[in-house]
Amino acid sequence: MEGFEYYSPVPAQQPNRSNWIMMTVIVAVAALILGLVIGNSLPGGGNGLTTLPASAKIEVFDENLVQELYDLTIPSVVKIETSEASGNRFTFGGRGQGSGFLVSDNGEFLTNYHVVEGADRITVILQNGKRLRAEVVGSDSSNDLALIRVDVSQLDGIAPLTLADSSAVRPGQLAIALGSPFGLQGSVTVGIVSGVGRSLPSVTQRRIVGMIQTDAAIFPGNSGGPLLNSKGEVIGINTAVASRGNESLGFAVPSNTAKNILSRLASGIQIKRPWLGVSLLELDSERAEAAGLTVDRGIYIIDIVEGSPADQADLRPGSDGSGLPGPGGDVIRAVDGVAVSTVDDLIVEFNSKQPGDEITLSITRNGEELDITITLAEWPDSLS
């Protein structure tokens, strides 16, 4: 996204603080347009603006609906505090403070990994003010998700929220964010889904794909809270913000990403991500021509890590030495028969794999179509 930077909690990757980007949550609209104004040709040849009649005005959201959904869902949303908070409790990136929401009948709350990362004490604060000790059950740093658990007998019958099918989310639909911005527990903000299928780096610098974009005011403390649809279902976990001056965009990890790993997190299974060991570039006609390729779509290998699975499988890179495609590299076209044309496509396929899995890459090499069998390794700690 040209002109925007993305914040990652990894120290070496932190952006300039003067153009700060906070790893927090999303969703608020400064002004909601409740009517539609269009340009028309006025009698006498003049041009002007004519307001549509009241019967034709478009309502962005129903206040009663938002209030009803708030009352229904807010008891399941909690404030999270950790012992790692700095002296300034409203820290850059929301470290030491965040939000979460109940996802099971066993006292398990979903939140962001960066909210609880490195914490030696985690406190969950219910809407009635009750404070409960929590422990991390499982985490997936690559998708910035964590599952924490409290004593379920202390929850007073609070019901878990439902995770929706985020593949059905469409731009323009209602988006409601709940959480604790600046420590203000029980806050709600309303906006719309601005886009889907976005990606940005996680704390491990692996890209989180399929993210939901929403218009947002930027506040620390909402990280890990739910982004709801008009049914009160969770479509995303509020996670990150891209900011430039007074303009900002909010992003949420899609609920389907959480659903796919929730059972493993609850079982305490460590989420391990597979590694191929390549640097990649998405092809277009200009890049393909520069590299002398016979195909102009696909994912081009421009570098390979020595000793990596890609190196052991004899995949071949092509680079001009400046990070641009040069002649001789392989073009990845499919993974296990599933066509891929972007790096995000490749990540989606790899997210369903485990270290040690054997995969088949369909590639184009010097105009020849080949299938290469590769055994994936575990994502190295040195890259986290």
Residues serving a catalytic function are 114, 144, 223
Tell me how far apart the alpha carbons of residues 74 and 70 are, in angstroms, rounded to a whole number: 5
Structure tokens at 127: 């809407």
Q: What is the CA radius of gyration of the chain?
A: 23
Burial of 183 (0-12, 13-18, 19+ CB in 10 A): middle
Which of 281, 264, 274 has its CA nearest to residue 383? 274
Structure tokens at 359: 């995969």
Tell me how far apart the alpha carbons of residues 66 and 62 are, in angstroms, rounded to a whole number: 6
Pick left, alpha or beta for residue 168 (phi over 0 → left; psi -120 to 50 → alpha; otherwise beta). Answer: alpha
Tell me how far apart the alpha carbons of residues 6 and 240 are, in angstroms, rounded to a whole number: 8
Beta bridge partners of 175: 191
Tell me how far apart the alpha carbons of residues 326 and 283 are, in angstroms, rounded to a whole number: 12
Q: Which residue has the tokens 């969950």?
A: 124
